Amino acid sequence: GATVTVEHEACLAARVWAWVVTLVIVLGGKVSGFTKRIWKIAADDPRRAVHGLKVGLALALVSVFYYTRPLYDGVGGSAMWAIMTVVVVFEYTVGGCVYKGFNRAAATVSAGAIALGVHWIAANAGHELGPFIRSGSVFLLASMATFSRFIPTVKARFDYGVTIFILTYSLVAVSGYRVESLLALAQQRVCTIGIGIFMCLCVCVLICPVWAGQELHGLTARNMDKLAGAVEACVEDYFADQADGKQQPPSAAAEGYKCVLNSKASEDSQANLARWEPGHGRFGFRHPYEQYKKVGAAMRHCAYCVEALSGCVRSEIQAPEHVKRHLADGCTTVAARCARVLGEAASSVSAMTTSWSLDFAVADMNTAVQELQSDLRELPSKLAEESPALVIDAVQLFTVTSLLIEVSTRVEGVVD
């Protein structure tokens, strides 16, 4: 009996062991997959990891600063406001940091001043009327301020400030302190918030700063390059396709236009934040960031056309190869020159100069377009009995090209 039990227990132990091992392996696999994903995020852009360290540093600095001060008096005291300021004001880009810092400071001071006035009125109005004045004013101001967030300008520039305004006003107006002690408290608090904002800005600007303006600049140039690659790759795919008789999957370059289509939101927010940045490097204080939005819109306008073109390239009904061959040279030339114009524009944006080579590239492109047009005009008479599907692609290419010319001329006007 005993041996059976021992064997049974050994068997059970082995099973449990096997189960534990499996669990560890599965968990290990998940953890390593997760670690790889995290590592990829950090490796794609090391500044993200640096940003994390910067936030930690700013918080540690503030906490050390308040340890060494005799004023330090626990959670309820002023240290809290410095920490809170650092946590909410610290943003990835310098522009975001300045935006939040300015909003926080301005909203705290203005709301504090108004609230002190109302507080004084309520204190003098007696115990009956006081609470009504306080709650009523909170209701009124909070409603108005919240509604003001729906105004587009306020939303874009002062959204965070409005939140802080409501918060500060409510806190001060509802508080039970006397006006004199409130004044001292307010002074201390404004000072603390100021120190918090100052520390944030120092850490943000001095250690590996990320400028929203530069990000926007780089994004614009990168998108232009991608668009150039997409135009060229699309047309090449179209003519290479039929060489071995079957559809190929779209190349990575040909999908590049999708980045351009989806970059509106990040462009808008970066242009909003870049406005707050002081001059840095080649960017002045009033650098025309609005222009980047216009260039971005022009590029998207062009990318819509590339999307339609790539739809044609990948459509199931294709023109026979011998028909395509008539226009292959012309189309490839136009696409290559379009790509060159966009490439030149991208490098002239990155270098922030107007270059003659851009003008030459545009002129070359226009010549190629005209040649293609005349080829096109002769084609129908040649191919009267054939399928008209060929003409589609060439003509769409023509549309894309004219859009590209529009884009490139706009870009020329924009680059300073």
Report the site for a second copy in 193-232 (rule: CB under 8 A). none
CB nearer to a second copy: give 109 or 391: 391
Asked if 171 interacts with a second copy (CB under 8 A), we say: yes
Rounded Cα distance between 249 and 139, Å, is 60
CB nearer to a second copy: give 88 or 201: 88
Which range, of 18-26, 196-204, 228-236, 375-383, touches a second copy by CB under 8 A?
375-383
Contact between residue 146 and residue 166 where contact means Cβ atoms under 8 Å apart:
yes
CB nearer to a second copy: give 73 or 321: 73
Q: Which of 134, 217, 293, 324 binds a second copy (CB under 8 A)?
A: 134
Rounded Cα distance between 326 and 343, Å, is 27
First to last CA, the chain: 94
| Contacts of residue 295, Cβ cutoff 8 Å, sequence gap at least 6 | 220, 349, 410, 411, 414
Residues 80-99 that bind a second copy (CB under 8 A): 80, 83-84, 87-88
Residues 281-340 that bind a second copy (CB under 8 A): 300-301, 304-305, 307-308, 311-312, 315
Asked if 183 interacts with a second copy (CB under 8 A), we say: no
Asked if 70 interacts with a second copy (CB under 8 A), we say: no
| Cross-strand bridge partners of residue 280 | 283
Q: Which of 17, 19, 39, 72 binds a second copy (CB under 8 A)?
A: 72
Q: Which of 15, 388, 409, 416 binds a second copy (CB under 8 A)?
A: 388
Which range, of 8-16, 220-228, 262-270, 353-361, touches a second copy by CB under 8 A?
262-270
Got the DSSP string for 202-237? Answer: HHHHHSS---HHHHHHHHHHHHHHHHHHHHHHHHHH
Got the DSSP string for 91-105? Answer: -SSHHHHHHHHHHHH
Measured CA angle at 307 (ends 302, 311), to 5 deg: 145
Distance of CA 26 to the CA centre of its chain: 36
Q: Binding mask 32-51 vs a second copy (x if CB under 8 A, - otherwise)?
A: -----xx--xx-----xx-x
Contact between residue 394 and residue 376 where contact means Cβ atoms under 8 Å apart:
yes
Got the DSSP string for 153-173? Answer: HHHHHHHHHHHHHHHHHHHHH
CB nearer to a second copy: give 56 or 284: 56
Neighbour count for residue 219 (Cβ, 10 Å): 18
CB nearer to a second copy: give 88 or 415: 88
Give the shortest CB-391-to-a second copy separation in angstroms. 5
Q: Give me the half-sphere count of Cα atoms (radius 13 Å) on the Cβ side of residue 169.
A: 26
Asked if 74 interacts with a second copy (CB under 8 A), we say: yes
Asked if 114 interacts with a second copy (CB under 8 A), we say: no
Asked if 177 interacts with a second copy (CB under 8 A), we say: yes
Asked if 55 interacts with a second copy (CB under 8 A), we say: yes
**Unique residue bearing structure tokens 């944030």:** 200
Give the shortest CB-130-to-a second copy separation in angstroms. 10
Q: Which two tokens stand for residue 230?
A: 């997409």
Give the shortest CB-161-to-a second copy separation in angstroms. 13
**Unique residue bearing structure tokens 């303006």:** 213
Q: Which of 264, 282, 322, 325 binds a second copy (CB under 8 A)?
A: 264
Asked if 122 interacts with a second copy (CB under 8 A), we say: no
Give the shortest CB-123-to-a second copy separation in angstroms. 14
CB nearer to a second copy: give 353 or 374: 374
Q: How many residues does the chain have?
A: 416
Give the shortest CB-392-to-a second copy separation in angstroms. 5
Exposed, middle or buried: residue 274 (CB in 10 Å: 0-12, 13-18, 19+)? buried
CB nearer to a second copy: give 77 or 209: 77
